Each structure stands twice: as structure tokens, then as C-alpha cells.
Chain A
Amino acid sequence: MNELPTKSYLNDPKGLKSWLLTLDHKRIGLLYLFSIMAAFALGGIFAMLIRLELLSPGKDFMEADTYNQLFTLHGAIMIFLFIIPSIPAILGNFALPLMIGAKDVAFPRLNLASWYIYILGSAFAVYSMVAGAADTGWTFYTPYSTETTTSVISMTLGAFILGFSSIFTGLNFIVTIHKLRSPGMSWFKMPLFVWGLYATAIIQVLATPVLGITLLLLIIERVAGIGIFDPAMGGDPVLYQHFFWFYSHPAVYIMILPGMGIISELISVFSNKKIFGYKAIAFSSLGIAFVSFLVWGHHMFVSGQSELAAMIFSFLTFFVGIPSGIKVFNWVTTMYRGSISLKTPMLYALSFLFLFTIGGLTGIFLGALSVDVHLHDTYFIVAHFHYVMMGGTVMAFLGGVHYWWPKIWGRMYSELWARISVALIFVGFNVTFFSQFILGSQGMPRRYYNYLDQYQPLHAFSTYGSWILGLGFVIMAVYLVHSLFKGRVAGSNPWGALTFEWTTASPPPHENFATIPETTHGPYDFDKIVPKRTLTED
């Protein structure tokens, strides 16, 4: 029988102040966990309300203006408050130093500052909700965003501030990965999650300032009336889209790359097999990061951008398929002839494989110029990015949460309920969003409050799916909270993994390791080493 350690980072030192002023990366990860989950719940409730309103055509229970504000808030909160920080700031913060055998990140104070900046940015976002929420969509396109009377400034200022939080985290991770790896851990002995975080951090540091500049320019135009995007003042509204997507396309990879890193860990560990094509996976992360800066114009095919630019961007967009395809093939090959155990994290990894592949392939449709003209701004787009973002990143995030949960708290959740929840989420997700592919291909425009009767069956189907999805998340919240008090004690290595975080106690002591571990084997050498599992009964 395993025992919880009497002293761990969770209870040593004690007191609220010790948490709010903590410099421990694990505690900061948890601060992020609670605040980001609150944002996720809020964004999720907005999503449920949007789907409920769309159950039947015309007004069900909210006004059209409220509807516009709700989808804007849903988008802005899910992107800026939830999905961008989710994996790096929660799981990256918690696991990165542990995985490379370090005591902490390189700049612990900067790390804490990033959390306070996150809270400050969120406060602006929440304030804008109270003060007449923006109704522009999360993209804040001009010229509408410079004209609407809703609180665009506080919302964009919130996103601007949140950007700094993101930059701080990225900067911290780059230095940590360069400088604090344990003795003997060369670049190609790093776990692949670390590679994913590294590629992400580069994009965070390079691209986020451009978003800051864009939003500042928008605010300047609104406040000072200087013509930058407004054609009446000599500006160019399409230029806003260039600025915006120059950040926001790479930002899609800020969201997905760390998720891909988690999937590499999960697939190898739960197939009990050495990862196939380690270097290919590592370099394809960098490849994706590089290509991501050259394709932003694919969001602008019908914006009035020149035909030449549209052709160039369409051509370049197809290159994204190469590194993504490399990863998917390597994951599948890793599973081939492995001894696969279908634990909850692995179920999430498999969901990721299915859903991300659908999301990625429909992205190829949208990158093709002629097809995009038909599908642009329809529900096809909505379905596509929910397959990538929710089917991809969120599945990977949930897989990671379930994988590191016993390390974070020292206790296991109920495997049975977790499997029920993953099944509901998988089914609910597909019911909600696959129907939207069909809706979109039939011409249903996105962001519309009302629709023709012919679309009603599919809209209703999608709304039912959102209820299944919501139920899955409620169950998850219940069994996860329950596990904190009643869960079985996990022991240091419940999954039989080989990376460093599983060599120390669960939950780990404040300084992570009693002695700094030395790298004697690769992170996935399941062919050479049989790790001792601390949970065996099943």
C-alpha cells in the first residue's frame, strides 16, 4: 500500500500567503489551474447558452445583441484566457522543471509575475463584460471594432495584458530549457513535451508582441482618431487583418504544439514502447513553428486581399500538413505492436488522434482557394477549428491533466467515472461539431442569430451534443474533486513511465528531488528498462 509523503509542496509551507507569494513552479501551476479552469467554465457556460439559443430559429430567450456579445465573449475567453495559457502555464509550469530534473524554472519571480499579470488581464476582460461586452467577435475586425459603442477597449486591453503573461512564460521556459537541464540530458534526451514547450515558447516570444502592437493601434484609432485601419481617414481595414493574423495564426500553434508534446508522452508510455521517430517529432515541432509565420493570409482569402497574395498564402499553407502528418504517422507507428493499455489518458490521446486528424484535414480544404470561397465564414470553419482546438488541444490537455493528476495531488481519480466521462465528451463533441461541418457545407453562415428552417434539424442535433458534452465535463469536475479527498494513493510512478517526474514522490517535495537526478537513459527507453509501477492492481 502506498503512503502519501507527510511533507510535500502542497502542505509545506502552509497558509494562504505562502500560496499567493509562492515562487514554487508547482504551486504557480496550480494557481494557474484554478484560475484557468474558472475561465474555461465561464466560456463553456457561454457556449451552452449560444447553442441553446440556436436550438430553433428566431428568438428563443435572448436578444440578438446579447447573442453577439455572448459569442464574442465565448471566443475571447476561450482563446485568450483558457486555451493559450492552458497547457504551458498549468502543465508546463508543473511538469517542465520536473521533467528536466531541475529544482524550478530559471526565473521563479517572473513566473509568479506572469500569473498576476494573467489575473490583471482577466480582470479587464471581466470588467468589459459588466460594462457592455464587446460584440465584434474575438477577432476585433475593423472598421466595426472602431465604431461599435461596446467596450472594445477594455477587452482588447485585457488581451494586450494577457499577452505579457504569455511572453513571460515563454521567455522563462526558453531559458529554463537551455540552462537547467540535469547533467547528461542532451537536447535529444529531453522528453518530447519539453520540445513542444520549447517550440511554443519561441512563438510566444516572437509573435505575441505583434498582437500587442495591433491592439494598441486599434485603441489609438478609437481614442485619438488617427487613421490606421479606417479608410475614411486614409487607413486600410485589410491591414488590420494582416496584423491580427500575423499573430493569431502562429497563436494556433501556441495552442496545439504543447498538446502534441503531451500526446507524444502519452502514446509512448501507454503503449509501453519507445517512441517512433523521436527526432522527426522534435524537429517537426520546430518546423510547424517556422511555417506558422508564413501562412496568415489564408484567413483573408475573401477580405479583398490581392489575388497574388492569396495564391502565395494558399500555397504556403499546404506545407503545414507535412510536419503535422509526420507527427501523426509517428504516433500511430509508436502504437504498432506496443502493449497498449487503455487508461483514461490514453483514451484522450486516441481521441486526439481521431479528432485532430479530422481537424487538420479539413484545414487542407480551407487552405484551397476555390473551396474556401464557398466555405469561408460558414459553420464549416467553426467545426474545423473546434476539431483542432477542442478535439486537439483540449483533448491533449485533458489527457495531460489525467496523466499528471496523481503526480500533482498524489491521489488517483476513479478510473471508471473517468472513462464514462471521456466517452461522453468524445461522443458529445462529435455530435456537436460534426453536424456543423454539414451545416457549413450547406451554407449556414457562422455568427448568425437566426437561420432558415431547413437548418433546424442539424442545429438541434448540435445543441443536443452540447448537452452530452456538458454532462461529461460536470462528471469530470465531480470525480476530480472527489479524488482529492478519497482517491487511492498513487505512489511515485503509477503509470510505469521513465521520465524524471516519476522518480520523485507524489506529490513532490518543495525542492522537487532529494538529489538532482542524472540522465542515464532516454525518456522512452522501454526496450531497455522495465520501470517499477507503484500501482499494479488491474
Chain B
Amino acid sequence: MKNGSSHSHHILPPRVYLGVGAALLILTAITVAVSFFNFGPYNLLVAMLIAAGKASLVALFFMHLKYDNKLYMTIFVASVVFLAVFIILTMFDTLRRDDIYDIGAGPIRDRAVMYDSVAVDSTITGADSIEAVSDTTINQSPGQ
């Protein structure tokens, strides 16, 4: 480190790289293994946790975030938090839309009322979302 700057590249011994590489392979194997189990609603969570662990290993060791100026780590973590805020607060909406009225969010059929120039009668088959609405206490068809 001739110039003595905090920017100089940290050289890691090969065994660290090999160790991290092995850990990544093991985590990949685990990803495949857990896909044979059904955790119900937690399937996504499990998969995301493993993926996040792998991504952290890559960022920390292969991309040297662990040994670099702490400013980069701060910016990296801050941006992850920032993204998390956006997703979590949005989830408070999208996951809880049917709290009071039991109308869940779901795709509207192509021939849903708002996409139709002619008024739709209730006899159309396969109208999941329309039926869901008419089952509730709301006395309006969604087109009105």
C-alpha cells in the first residue's frame, strides 16, 4: 500500500474464495432441496432468505464490500432499506385489501364491465371477480 489510501485493494487468500464458493454451492443445493417441501405461504420467504444469504456472500467477499471503505457498505445497506420500505408499505395495501369488504384483488376478465361498451349481464360464465362482488353486501354492480 504505497499510497496509503483507504482505497487500496485488499488481497484475500484463495481459501476464502474457495470457502465462499463452496458455501454458495451448498446453498444452491439447499435451494433445490427445499423446493421438494411445501411450506405453504412461507415458500417464498424460505426461497428469498436463502437467495438473500447468497447475495450477501457475493457482495461481502467477492465484491469486497466487507473490506472496503465503510461508506460503501452504508450506502449499500441504506439502498436495501429504502427498497424494503417501498415494498413493505405497499404490501400493507395489497395484502390487506379485503379486510373490511371481502373483495380480494385479482385480475379482471377481458370482458369485465369497464372494458365493455355494452352493459354486462350477470349470466356471463367464469366471472370470478364479478360474482365475488355480487356476493357481498355492496348493492352495486361494479359498472355503475
A297, B85: Cα distance in complex, Å: 12
A300, B89: Cα distance in complex, Å: 13
Is B112 in contact with A308, judged by CB distance below 8 angstroms?
no
Q: Is the C-beta of B110 less than 8 angstroms from some C-beta in chain A?
A: yes
A233, B107: Cα distance in complex, Å: 7
From A235, A242, A308, B90 is in contact (CB under 8 Å) with A242
Is B107 in contact with A309, judged by CB distance below 8 angstroms?
no
Report chain A residues within 8 Å CB of B86.
Answer: 210, 242, 246
CB proximity of A240 to chain B, nearest CB, Å: 11
Q: Is the C-beta of B97 less than 8 angstroms from some C-beta in chain A?
A: yes
From B85, B90, B112, A232 is in contact (CB under 8 Å) with B112
A398, B85: Cα distance in complex, Å: 36
Is A238 in contact with B108, judged by CB distance below 8 angstroms?
no
How many chain B residues sit at the interface, stated as a range, is 20 to 34
Given A232-B110, A313-B89, 18 new contacts (CB under 8 A): A231-B108, A232-B109, A232-B115, A234-B107, A238-B94, A239-B90, A293-B85, A294-B89, A296-B89, A300-B93, A305-B93, A306-B92, A306-B93, A306-B94, A306-B95, A306-B96, A307-B96, A309-B92
Report chain A residues within 8 Å CB of B107.
Answer: 227, 231-235
Q: Fill in one digit per residue for B83-117: 1 if any A CB lies within 8 Å of its CB, else 0.
A: 00110011011111101100001011110101100
Q: Fill in one digit per residue for A125-154: 1 if any B CB lies within 8 Å of its CB, else 0.
A: 000000000000000000100000000000
What is the interface of chain A, defined by CB distance below 8 A to chain B?
143, 206, 210, 227, 231-236, 238-239, 242, 246, 293-294, 296-297, 300, 304-309, 312-313
Shortest Cβ distance from B107 into A: residue: A234
Is A307 in contact with B100, judged by CB distance below 8 angstroms?
yes
Is B96 in contact with A294, judged by CB distance below 8 angstroms?
no
Q: Is the C-beta of B82 less than 8 angstroms from some C-beta in chain A?
A: yes
Report chain A residues within 8 Å CB of B89.
Answer: 294, 296-297, 309, 312-313
A411, B65: Cα distance in complex, Å: 53
CB proximity of A212 to chain B, nearest CB, Å: 14
CB proximity of A71 to chain B, nearest CB, Å: 24
A296, B82: Cα distance in complex, Å: 14
CB proximity of B75 to chain A, nearest CB, Å: 11
Is B92 in contact with A308, judged by CB distance below 8 angstroms?
yes
Shortest Cβ distance from A210 into B: residue: B86
What is the interface of chain B, defined by CB distance below 8 A to chain A?
82, 85-86, 89-90, 92-97, 99-100, 105, 107-110, 112, 114-115
A227, B109: Cα distance in complex, Å: 13
Is B82 in contact with A297, judged by CB distance below 8 angstroms?
no
From B82, B96, B100, A309 is in contact (CB under 8 Å) with B96
Report chain B residues within 8 Å CB of A307.
Answer: 96, 99-100
A227, B110: Cα distance in complex, Å: 12
From A143, A227, A232, A236, B105 is in contact (CB under 8 Å) with A236
A465, B95: Cα distance in complex, Å: 46
Report chain A residues within 8 Å CB of B82.
Answer: 206, 293
Shortest Cβ distance from B98 into A: residue: A306
Is B93 in contact with A238, judged by CB distance below 8 angstroms?
yes
Report chain A residues within 8 Å CB of B110.
Answer: 232
Report chain B residues within 8 Å CB of A210.
Answer: 86
Evaluate whether A242 and B93 lie within 8 angstroms (CB atoms) in the complex, with A231-B108, A232-B112 already known: yes
Shortest Cβ distance from B96 into A: residue: A306
Is A308 in contact with B96, judged by CB distance below 8 angstroms?
yes
A159, B110: Cα distance in complex, Å: 31
A297, B88: Cα distance in complex, Å: 12
Is B99 in contact with A231, judged by CB distance below 8 angstroms?
no
CB proximity of A266 to chain B, nearest CB, Å: 33
A313, B108: Cα distance in complex, Å: 27
Is B94 in contact with A239, judged by CB distance below 8 angstroms?
yes
Shortest Cβ distance from B115 into A: residue: A232
24 A–B contacts, CB within 8 A, in A order? A143-B114, A206-B82, A227-B107, A231-B107, A231-B108, A232-B108, A232-B109, A232-B115, A233-B107, A236-B105, A238-B94, A246-B86, A294-B89, A296-B89, A306-B92, A306-B93, A306-B94, A307-B96, A308-B92, A309-B92, A309-B93, A309-B96, A312-B89, A312-B92
A313, B90: Cα distance in complex, Å: 10
CB proximity of B3 to chain A, nearest CB, Å: 18
Shortest Cβ distance from A304 into B: residue: B97
Shortest Cβ distance from A306 into B: residue: B96
Shortest Cβ distance from B105 into A: residue: A236
Report chain B residues within 8 Å CB of A312.
Answer: 89, 92
From B85, B97, B108, A294 is in contact (CB under 8 Å) with B85
A206, B109: Cα distance in complex, Å: 37
Shortest Cβ distance from A296 into B: residue: B89
CB proximity of A263 to chain B, nearest CB, Å: 29
A169, B92: Cα distance in complex, Å: 34
